[in-house]
């Protein structure tokens, strides 16, 4: 991990990189992404992103810009993250906003409210803490037609698809109030759409795409994913299917995930402009060397680094159908000699050194998947062979003896037998725990050998309360309330916790991985690659500056470039 002293943070850390990346910069693109321009604007040094993000001469009412897409997974969240960083680097107070997010991946604000994980990352890219106003409506899918509704950071019950319109007005008011609040406090709000604005069958209930753009009078840039194929048809069709009033807000197209020579697109870009009257303001190449949290990447597409010939420790995450917060395992892939992979069926299980049962939106249903898929028997053989097992959140609940659900929060079954591997019992209660947690490891054996006293930070999102039956010892304790947030078995090889983001804690992660190596007869394995999330945000911003005409973006907001 690279430690950055905020008193000596140079914002143009990646400025030199732009020279190699920007072979053909767009006309009017900011060319001052260099040390001299930042000195001129902010002085010789910039005192961290927070200081950079608070200008003396704030705009009277925050400007807005909106990124929409031709469909899901075209790169909206990632580009919004990059836009937030670019604007923050340029001295503006900036905040992200997504009216409604549909995702099982969520995070917790400092005041204990739940929002989409993508908005947490976007806020950090902007140099600020996340707020509930950045994502007032969060829908967490549970089944094909059922989801948990989170409104203004609090669980608001289950939502059936047919019930959506009955709640629209209340949700829409919260959305408008949240956006107004952000605009009153920030210079620029970067708004992210969801799916596509061209879903004409859903237009009447829209509260996340053009409805927001019209309310805020926001310039809109539509993103198309060329890697999926048919990008010109997607952009043209999206533009054609929206109304004239909505079309007037569209100020440009962005083609994302391009592979090859961009000059081959020239004739297509010209024809698209002739057909729509809209310019393509950016062609962003496909890249894999920027490590920024991705909200929608499916488990099968997660990074899984394999060090050919040097794989020493293998970690397998069970790819549950309703897996939640799967990006929390990405830090493991950056450790030399570690192979991280996802197991979706018993035939893929292999012989890992550590198996992780991750979080899930529907614990009982995914527990049934573990059983019916044959993965349960693989896990039991894995333990018989003396290997390690970890459960996180729902994974902890699955490892226990029973899951009681007297209120019918997840199902109509009042009690379910879990795997019986860890002597804990869980009961689902009516109130969801959403809290950031600082904890200390108190165990000192097996998977956590040598980790006693190590401090960790993360967050909790769960409705279950788990207690030991006597056979499980507490291995991790919250420093805020002396509350048990982790349990281990007698051998120390089985560990379960309610804390997410544990692997972002370098000392904890290196102890765990080195213990896995020692169990395998290998010494001194874990050496994390130097990593700074701020540096990755800067890299993303530098990359986008090279391939997107930010002069056009600023111009659409009436701001100088």
Q: How many other C-beta atoms are found inside a 10 Å radius of the C-beta of residue 407?
A: 12
Longest dimension (CA), the chain: 73
Which of 124, 382, 500, 547 is catalytic? The answer is 500
Residue with tokens 């896995």: 516
Reference 152, options 101, 103, 194; nearest CA is 101
Across 129-266, where does the E strand assignment appear? 137-141, 146-151, 154-160, 188-192, 220-225, 250-258
CA dist 407 to 211, 412, 427, 497, Å? 37, 8, 10, 23
Element (H, E) at 384: helix 375-384
Exposed, middle or buried, 7 (CB in 10 Å: 0-12/13-18/19+)?
exposed
How far apart CA 549 and CA 561 sit, in angstroms, is 10
How far apart CA 30 and CA 34 sit, in angstroms, is 10
Q: Which residues pair with 188 in a beta bridge?
A: 63, 94
Tokens for 291, please give them. 């490590």
DSSP letter string over 442-500?
Answer: ---SGGGTT-TT-EEEEEEEEEEEEEE-SSSEEEEEETTT--EEEEE-TTSSEEEES-B
DSSP letter string over 7-58?
Answer: GG--GGGGHHHHHHH-SSPPTT-----SHHHHHHHH-S---HHHHHT--SS-
CA dist 166 to 6, 145, 153, 172, 210, Å? 48, 15, 20, 11, 20
Reference 215, options 206, 226, 224, 223; nearest CA is 206
Which of 382, 393, 546, 547 is catalytic? The answer is 393
Determine whether 393 is an active site residue: yes
Determine whether 124 is an active site residue: no
Whether 177 and 90 have beta carbons less than 8 Å apart is answered as no
Whether 457 and 437 have beta carbons less than 8 Å apart is answered as yes
Count, residues in the chain: 561
Element (H, E) at 415: strand 415-417
R_g over Cα of the chain: 24
Residues acting as catalytic residues: 393, 500
């Amino acid at each position: 991990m690279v430690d950055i002293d905020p008193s000596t943070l140079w914002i143009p850390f990646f400025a030199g990189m732009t020279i190699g990346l920007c072979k053909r910069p767009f006309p009017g693109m900011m060319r001052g992404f260099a040390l001299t321009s930042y000195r001129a604007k902010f002085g010789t040094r910039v005192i961290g992103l927070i200081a950079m993000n608070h200008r003396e001469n704030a705009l009277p009412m925050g400007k807005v810009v909106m990124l929409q897409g031709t469909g899901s997974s075209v790169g909206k969240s990632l580009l919004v993250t990059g836009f937030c960083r670019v604007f923050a680097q340029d001295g503006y107070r900036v905040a992200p906003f997504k009216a409604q997010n549909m995702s099982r991946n969520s995070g917790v604000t400092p005041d204990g409210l739940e929002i989409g994980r993508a908005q947490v990352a976007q806020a950090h890219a902007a140099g600020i803490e996340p707020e509930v106003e950045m994502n007032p409506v969060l829908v967490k899918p549970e089944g094909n037609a059922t989801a948990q509704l989170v409104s203004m950071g609090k669980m608001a019950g289950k939502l059936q698809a047919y019930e959506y319109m009955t709640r629209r007005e209340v949700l829409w008011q919260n959305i408008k109030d949240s956006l107004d609040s952000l605009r009153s406090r920030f210079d620029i709000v970067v708004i992210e759409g969801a799916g596509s604005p061209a879903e004409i069958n859903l237009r009447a209930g829209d509260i996340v795409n053009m409805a927001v753009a019209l309310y805020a009078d926001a310039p809109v840039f539509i993103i198309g994913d060329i890697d999926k194929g048919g990008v010109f048809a997607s952009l043209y069709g999206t533009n054609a299917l929206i109304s004239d009033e909505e079309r007037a807000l569209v100020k440009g197209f962005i083609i994302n995930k391009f592979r090859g020579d961009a000059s081959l697109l020239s004739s297509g870009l010209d024809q698209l402009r002739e057909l729509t009257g809209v310019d393509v303001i950016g062609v962003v190449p496909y890249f894999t060397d920027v490590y920024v949290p991705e909200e929608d990447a499916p488990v099968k597409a997660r990074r899984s680094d394999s060090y050919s010939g040097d794989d020493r420790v293998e970690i397998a995450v069970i790819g549950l159908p309703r897996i939640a917060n799967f990006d929390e395992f990405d830090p493991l892939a950056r450790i030399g000699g570690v192979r991280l992979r996802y197991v979706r069926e018993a035939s893929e299980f292999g012989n890992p050194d550590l198996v992780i049962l991750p979080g899930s939106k529907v614990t009982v249903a995914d527990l049934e998947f573990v059983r019916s898929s044959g993965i349960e028997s693989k896990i039991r053989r894995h333990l018989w062979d003396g290997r390690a097992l970890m459960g996180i959140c729902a994974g902890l609940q699955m490892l226990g003896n029973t899951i009681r659900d007297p209120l019918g929060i997840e199902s109509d079954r009042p009690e379910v037998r879990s795997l019986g591997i860890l002597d804990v019992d869980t009961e689902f209660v009516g109130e969801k725990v959403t809290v950031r947690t600082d904890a200390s490891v108190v165990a000192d054996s097996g998977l956590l050998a040598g980790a006693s006293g190590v401090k960790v930070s993360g967050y909790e999102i769960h409705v279950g309360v788990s207690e030991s039956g006597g056979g499980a010892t507490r291995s991790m304790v919250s420093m805020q309330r002396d509350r048990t947030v982790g349990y281990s078995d007698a051998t120390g090889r089985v560990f379960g916790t309610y804390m997410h983001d544990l692997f972002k804690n370098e000392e904890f992660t290196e102890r765990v991985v080195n213990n896995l190596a020692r169990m395998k007869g290998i010494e001194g394995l874990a050496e994390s690659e130097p990593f700074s999330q701020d540096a990755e945000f800067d890299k993303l911003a530098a990359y986008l500056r090279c391939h997107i005409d930010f002069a056009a973006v600023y111009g659409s907001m009436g701001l100088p470039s």
